């Protein structure tokens, strides 16, 4: 995701943070100064935010590590002000595998609640009543006999429970939507199960929207709109996924393509783009050996730099991925979606010969032609 940078790597999975995450701390400072908090209260609030997002990271690792058990890798985990997301390469095909991957995240939050719950047993009955009276808005939290640590631990228990419950709502993109789809898939098949789960999610989204308008809560209303759109998108993606199962790269590959050579100038390449319909190219040496790929993004970079006298070898990417004619188009589609700037040389598995090229534009045109 653009604007993200890596802060750690755990279990071989990069953990990234989006720059907007810093807005959370800006908000805490604003609330602190507006509410005339002392520095200790601001520090505890900062610590609480960090602890809460640590729980979010553990939630996402619940998904990622469970998916790894079924051969599904995770590209990274990204934190933003609205939460975290584990970007899996794909979802498991088998319903129960998807169920376990989806349920793993909320179960991590439940586990955190259980680990912290002895704290509630250690406090006095009066303190426990004071903690739960926080939900009574008429009470002033600052008049209670509670320490910052009390509020910190109770807040983590409560919010982990909230995260678990919210994520189990049967609506995409929450985990509950995938849990519902997985269970329905056991009897109905993935396509029909997704349709039903999407309808359930959209019904809940409408309720969110109505409640948000009724309570004058724009946040809840926006969540409703977001969930409605995501439910529709999930069904569309699964429908496309099902349709592409019957095709391979051989149905899309373009055998007639323009060859760019390492010593060609970028002016020549730019002219080829301007007077043709190809946007990305394979780059060869004078002996017709494939040396790299030249994606459209790299060509545009050379144009912005006015580096027309530079050679294609300077802007090409020597590391690239190849496809086989026999590869399933369904698997290729999800991979291409995550690498939209790439161009892929295509080989025949039997002869190991280069037979053509594939780029995202070709794939999307194929899907459009099929009416999907």
The residues assigned a catalytic role are: 60
Can you tell me the distance from the alpha carbon of 324 to that of 348, in angstroms, rounded to the nearest whole number? 6
Residue 139 is classified by DSSP as S
**∠ Cα 136 137 139 (to 5°):** 75
- Residue 4, φ and ψ in degrees, nearest 5: -105, 150
Can you tell me the distance from the alpha carbon of 61 to that of 105, in angstroms, rounded to the nearest whole number? 7
Can you tell me the distance from the alpha carbon of 60 to that of 86, in angstroms, rounded to the nearest whole number? 6
C-beta of residue 345 within 8 angstroms of C-beta of residue 283 = no
Helices (H), the chain: 22-34, 39-69, 95-116, 118-122, 125-132, 148-167, 175-188, 190-214, 218-244, 266-274, 296-304, 312-315, 329-338, 360-369
Q: Which residue has the tokens 């049967």?
A: 170
Can you tell me the distance from the alpha carbon of 86 to that of 240, in angstroms, rounded to the nearest whole number? 22
Cα–Cα distances (Å) from 3 to 6, 79, 319, in that order, read: 10, 11, 24
Cα–Cα distances (Å) from 293 to 285, 286, 315, in that order, read: 12, 15, 9
Tell me the two tokens of residue 130: 């004071």
Task: Give the residue from 285, 290, 295 showing the smallest Cα distance to 264.
Answer: 285
Indicate the Cα dihedral angle 146, 151, 153, 156, nearest 10°: 160
Indicate the Cα dihedral angle 203, 209, 215, 216, nearest 10°: 180
Tell me the two tokens of residue 66: 């469970």
Can you tell me the distance from the alpha carbon of 238 to that of 248, in angstroms, rounded to the nearest whole number? 17
C-beta of residue 299 within 8 angstroms of C-beta of residue 293 = no
């Amino acid at each position: 995701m653009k604007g993200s940078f890596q802060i750690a790597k755990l279990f071989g999975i990069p953990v990234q943070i989006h720059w907007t995450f810093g807005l959370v701390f800006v908000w805490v400072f604003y609330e602190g100064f507006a509410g005339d908090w002392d520095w200790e209260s601001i520090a505890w609030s900062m610590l609480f935010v960090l602890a809460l997002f640590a729980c979010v990271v553990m939630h996402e690792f619940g998904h990622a590590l469970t998916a790894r058990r079924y051969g599904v890798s995770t590209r990274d985990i990204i934190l933003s002000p609205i939460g975290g997301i584990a970007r899996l390469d794909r979802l498991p095909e088998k319903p129960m595998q998807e169920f376990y991957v989806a349920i793993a995240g909320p179960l991590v939050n439940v586990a955190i609640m259980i680990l912290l719950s002895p704290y509630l047993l250690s406090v006095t009955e009066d303190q426990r009543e004071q903690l739960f009276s926080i939900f009574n808005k008429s009470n002033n939290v600052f008049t209670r006999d509670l320490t910052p640590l009390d509020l910190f631990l109770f807040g983590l228990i409560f919010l982990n429970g909230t995260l678990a419950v919210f994520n189990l709502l049967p609506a995409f993109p929450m985990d509950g939507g995938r849990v519902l789809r997985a269970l329905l898939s056991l009897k109905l098949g993935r396509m029909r199960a997704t349709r039903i789960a999407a309808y359930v999610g959209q019904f809940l989204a409408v309720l969110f929207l109505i409640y948000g308008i009724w309570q004058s809560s724009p946040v809840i209303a926006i969540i409703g709109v977001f969930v409605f759109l995501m439910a529709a998108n999930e069904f569309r993606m699964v429908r496309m996924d099902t349709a592409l199962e019957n095709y391979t790269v051989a149905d899309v590959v373009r055998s007639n393509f323009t060859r760019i050579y390492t010593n060609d100038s970028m002016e020549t390449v730019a002219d080829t783009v301007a007077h043709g319909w190809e946007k990305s190219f394979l780059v060869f040496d004078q002996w017709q050996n494939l040396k790299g790929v030249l994606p459209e993004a790299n060509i545009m970079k050379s144009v912005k730099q006015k580096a027309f006298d530079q050679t294609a070898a300077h802007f090409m990417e020597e590391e690239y991925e190849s496809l086989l004619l026999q590869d399933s188009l369904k698997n290729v589609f999800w991979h291409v979606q995550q690498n939209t700037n790439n161009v892929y040389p295509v080989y025949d598995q039997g002869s190991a010969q280069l037979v053509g090229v594939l780029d995202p534009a070709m794939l999307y045109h194929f899907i459009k032609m099929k009416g999907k």
